[in-house]
Amino acid sequence: MPLDASALIGAPEIAAANVNPSGFGKRAGLREAGLAGEAIAAVSSGRPPAGTPEFRRIARLVVTDHEVALVGIERGRLSDVLARVPRASVVSAEVGGGLLNTPVTIAFQDGGAWRFEVSRLIRRQAQAVVDVLER
């Protein structure tokens, strides 16, 4: 059964996608390379833009009629609302390119932005979120 954050955020989901922190895929891949990979991952971990909510591994990016929310996922279940902003404050949203992991960026009127990444396997879900935000 797919996750649905509607009850937790108090409004029906219009679009949603599970996201990872920016740089998650690169760090995970480097860790697989052993100790040398872990050292490289520690040094090269890119920082997301200021304002991007922090979470460890996976979260659900949700769009409702009136807001954009990020909901934490722990042990395969929705945990808590990490951040929420009015949809009216979104100025742009885009899904970038990438061979394995695709960046997703949402920019806000105050100059802040959220940047995440998604697996190429669920790029369509992320694109659906962006398409709703661009309307």
Looking at residue 37, its pLDDT comes to 44
First CA to last CA distance, the chain: 28
Looking at residue 23, its pLDDT comes to 78
What are the extents of the domains in the chain? 6-133
Looking at residue 97, its pLDDT comes to 86
Looking at residue 48, its pLDDT comes to 59
Looking at residue 74, its pLDDT comes to 94
* Element holding 24 (H helix, E strand): helix 24-31
Provide the CA 109 distance to its chain's centre, in angstroms.
19
Looking at residue 124, its pLDDT comes to 94
Looking at residue 94, its pLDDT comes to 96
Provide the CA 135 distance to its chain's centre, in angstroms.
19
Looking at residue 50, its pLDDT comes to 63
Residue partners of 125: CB distance under 8 A and separation at least 6: 15, 16, 17, 18, 118
Q: What topology does CATH give the domain 6-133?
A: PH-domain like (2.30.29)
Q: Which residues of the chain have pLDDT under 50?
A: 25, 27-31, 33, 37-45
